[in-house]
């Protein structure tokens, strides 16, 4: 029997507010353990939480960008469970009245994926498990109280590829909105997946499993593919799929049972009596809607319209907000968008790939790339030299001018200087000269190659070609 997968995602994004959701502690990543804590986020008795307004604003930005209905009345609830990373033994979250609901985000194929809800909540601390024989764990509460939004999709995704595409699109939008840096490797974007199988063509849903510990896009695709395989085998043998939470084990490339799935009633949700309900004024929501930044799709279309970029270029460059901003910053200093996009897609992305660098960590000043492209266009340096210089610009952050000065890389276009080299090569390779004069025009290419070698690649190829042909033709007439 053939089965179809039914997949839904639960995505947690850490919001990039300066302070935590209910206290004034910093949210900065990477600080020494337990240095960004206070009685509120440590859950000490007698402390009272105060909601950070930015968290509501950021959640509404996400909701509006994802076509959600925004509620006018909402509240925060306690989700009770005991775990050492949760000092209060409850997480403040939202149960039945999320800030945003009923949104959607379409895949490139046009297929809409429904977004059931987006709500705000606090993050828990982080457990650091000992890797030595003696088992113990340390806990860092710096992350406790960092604001999160949880985005829940309907089970509209049918393949691992669709799930990965959705998550990539969603990540791009959240970054464009400026509300999260969405770094999966730092845990600021996390994704759990629900997956069940049903016989192809039917509507009846099977038992789902929830997959956790997915730390990259690749892991999401692989964990889902593994689970489809595992569940298909069980169903083919007429065994039952257990409703449970399974952990993706990256090292072994498999999912493993963690615990039987808890139901919502197990969390004993109830409204947090320490926090007042959230009433949203329509004017406030309208203000946030009006101030939404340009989103990836809009930017892509603008790049096609305004800069006449092919769709491929526009898609690739707007794939990262940082890269798109970099491209536009280059254009402030250089006016050929297609040449700039070629260079960025070729040289810049190649070097970034080699170094494993993200666009946000680029050292290159966009003005420097604009300047370099200008010099290539004007013939001051050749394209080959330009690429070499750019590699230095990329690695050091120095300006092209500094590198040209230091390396003596300026292209030689001076005719008198080049003529000397042209004549030297003509004398050194009489056979090739005879070949050329005998009608083998290809021989000129060989001679040009020798001239480039003599000048260490610094000769302007257009100029030497002109000079060489002129000299050779003179010899023909003699």
Residue 21 or 177: the one with the smaller Cβ distance to Zn ion is 21
Considering beta carbons, is residue 87 or 337 the nearer one to Zn ion? Answer: 87
Taking the least distance from each CB to Zn ion, the nearer of 44 and 127 is: 44
Residue 139: φ, ψ to 5°: -125, 135
Q: Which stretch binds Zn ion (CB under 5 A): 9-17, 31-39, 171-179, 427-435?
A: 31-39
Query: Minimum Å distance from CB 372 to Zn ion?
Result: 47
Q: Is 76 in the site for Zn ion (CB under 5 A)?
A: no
Q: Which range in 36-44, 129-137, 240-248, 363-371 contacts Zn ion by CB under 5 A?
A: 36-44
Residue 376 binding Zn ion, by CB under 5 A: no
**Binding-residue total with Zn ion (CB under 5 A):** 5
Which window, 19-27, 69-77, 169-177, 178-186, contacts Zn ion (CB under 5 A)?
A: 19-27
107 near Zn ion (CB under 5 A): no
Shorter beta-carbon distance to Zn ion: residue 41 or 362 = 41
CB of 47 to Zn ion, least distance (A): 9
Q: Which residues pair with 103 in a beta bridge?
A: 115
Q: What is the CA radius of gyration of the chain?
A: 30
CA dist 250 to 32, 57, 184, 255, 261, Å? 27, 36, 14, 9, 21
The residue among 22 and 390 lying less far from Zn ion, judged by its C-beta, is 22
d(CA 85, CA 129): 12
Three-class SS of residue 328?
helix
**Cβ contact 71:99 at 8 Å:** yes
- With the C-alpha atoms ordered 367, 368, 369, 371, is the resulting torsion angle positive or negative? positive
Residue 12: CB minimum distance to Zn ion, A = 20
Q: How far is the CB of 409 from Zn ion (least distance, A)?
A: 54
Nearer to Zn ion (CB atom), residue 22 or residue 327: 22
Longest C-alpha distance within the chain, in Å? 104
**Minimum CB distance to Zn ion smaller for 35 or for 417:** 35
84 DSSP 8-state letter:
T
Burial of 369 (C-beta count, 10 Å sphere; 0-12/13-18/19+): buried
CA distances from 124 to 16, 44, 98, 211, 216 (A): 16, 15, 19, 19, 20
- Tell me the window of 5-13, 32-40, 265-273, 327-335 that interacts with Zn ion (CB under 5 A): 32-40
Of 25-33, 87-95, 226-234, 425-433: span binding Zn ion (CB under 5 A): 25-33
What is the C-alpha separation between 234 and 1, in angstroms, rounded?
12
Tell whether residue 38 is a contact of Zn ion (CB under 5 A).
yes
Cβ 42 to Zn ion, closest distance in Å? 7
Residue number, 16 or 209, with CB nearest to Zn ion: 16
Q: Given the complex with Zn ion, which of 91 and 153 has the nearer CB atom?
A: 91
Nearer to Zn ion, 21 or 344 (CB): 21
CA atoms of 398 and 203, how far apart (whole Å): 61
List the one residue from 5, 41, 174, 448 that touches Zn ion (CB under 5 A). Answer: 41
Rounded CA separation 250/258 (Å) = 15
With H, G, I as helix, E, B as strand and everything else as coil, classify residue 396.
helix
CB of 324 to Zn ion, least distance (A): 35
Contacts of 314 (CB under 8 A, 6+ apart): 300, 301, 303, 304, 307
Look up residue 137 and give its two tokens: 């764990």
Helix 217-236 × helix 160-176 angle, to 10°? 150
Q: Give yes or no for residue 124 binding Zn ion (CB under 5 A).
A: no
Select from 24-32, 199-207, 224-232, 447-455 the region that touches Zn ion (CB under 5 A).
24-32
23 binds Zn ion (CB under 5 A): yes
Query: Does 146 interact with Zn ion (rule: CB under 5 A)?
Result: no
Tokens of 101: 């609901």
Which residues touch 365 (CB under 8 Å, ≥6 apart)?
A: 397, 399
Q: Is-contact 326 344, C-beta < 8 A?
A: yes
Distance of closest approach, residue 206 Cβ to Zn ion, in angstroms: 43
What 3-state class would DSSP assign to 30? coil
**Does residue 25 interact with Zn ion by CB under 5 A?**
yes
Of 7 and 41, the one with the shorter C-beta distance to Zn ion is 41
Residues that bind Zn ion (CB under 5 A): 23, 25, 38, 40-41
């Amino acid at each position: 029997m053939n089965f179809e997968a039914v997949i839904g995602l639960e995505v947690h994004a850490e919001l990039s507010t300066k302070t935590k959701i209910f206290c004034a502690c910093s949210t900065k990543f990477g600080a020494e353990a337990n240095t960004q804590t206070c009685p509120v986020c440590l859950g000490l008795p007698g402390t009272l939480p105060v909601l950070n307004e930015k968290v509501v604003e950021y959640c509404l930005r996400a909701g509006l960008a994802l076509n959600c209905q925004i509620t006018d009345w909402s509240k925060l609830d306690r989700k009770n469970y005991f775990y050492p990373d949760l000092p209060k033994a409850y997480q403040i979250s939202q149960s039945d009245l999320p800030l945003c609901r009923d949104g959607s985000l379409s895949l490139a194929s046009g297929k809409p994926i429904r977004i059931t809800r987006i709500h705000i909540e606090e993050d828990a601390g982080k457990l650091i498990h000992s890797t030595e024989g003696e088992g113990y764990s340390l806990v860092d509460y710096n992350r406790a109280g960092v604001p999160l939004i949880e985005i829940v999709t309907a089970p509209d995704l049918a393949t691992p590829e669709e799930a990965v595409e959705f998550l990539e699109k969603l990540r791009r939008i959240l970054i464009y909105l400026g509300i999260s840096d969405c770094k999966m490797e730092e845990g600021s974007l996390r994704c759990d997946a629900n997956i069940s199988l049903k016989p192809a063509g039917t509507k009846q849903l099977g038992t789902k499993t929830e997959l956790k510990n997915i730390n990259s896009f690749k892991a999401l695709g692989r964990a889902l593919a593994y689970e489809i395989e595992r569940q298909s085998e069980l169903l083919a043998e007429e065994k039952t799929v257990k409703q449970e939470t399974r952990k993706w084990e990256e090292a072994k490339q498999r999912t493993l049972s963690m615990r039987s799935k808890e139901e919502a009633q197990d969390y004993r949700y109830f409204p947090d009596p320490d926090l007042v309900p959230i009433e949203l004024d329509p004017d406030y929501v309208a203000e946030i809607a009006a101030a939404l930044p340009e989103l990836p799709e809009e930017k892509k279309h603008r790049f096609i319209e305004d800069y006449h970029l092919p769709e491929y270029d526009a898609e690739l460059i707007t794939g990262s907000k940082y890269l798109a901003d970099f491209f536009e910053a280059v254009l402030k200093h250089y006016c050929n968008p297609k040449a700039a996009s070629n260079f960025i897609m070729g040289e810049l992305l190649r070097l970034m790939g080699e170094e494993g660098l993200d666009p946000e960590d680029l050292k290159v000043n966009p003005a420097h790339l604009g300047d370099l492209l200008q010099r290539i266009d004007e013939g001051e340096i050749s394209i080959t030299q330009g690429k070499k210089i750019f590699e230095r610009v990329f690695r050091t952050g120095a300006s092209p001018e500094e590198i040209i000065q230091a390396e003596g890389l300026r292209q030689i276009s001076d005719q008198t200087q080049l003529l000397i080299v042209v004549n030297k090569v003509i004398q050194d390779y009489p056979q090739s000269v005879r070949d050329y004069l005998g009608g083998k025009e290809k021989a000129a290419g060989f001679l040009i190659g020798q001239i480039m070698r003599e000048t260490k690649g610094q000769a302007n190829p257009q100029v030497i070609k002109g000079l060489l042909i002129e000299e050779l033709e003179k010899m023909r007439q003699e």
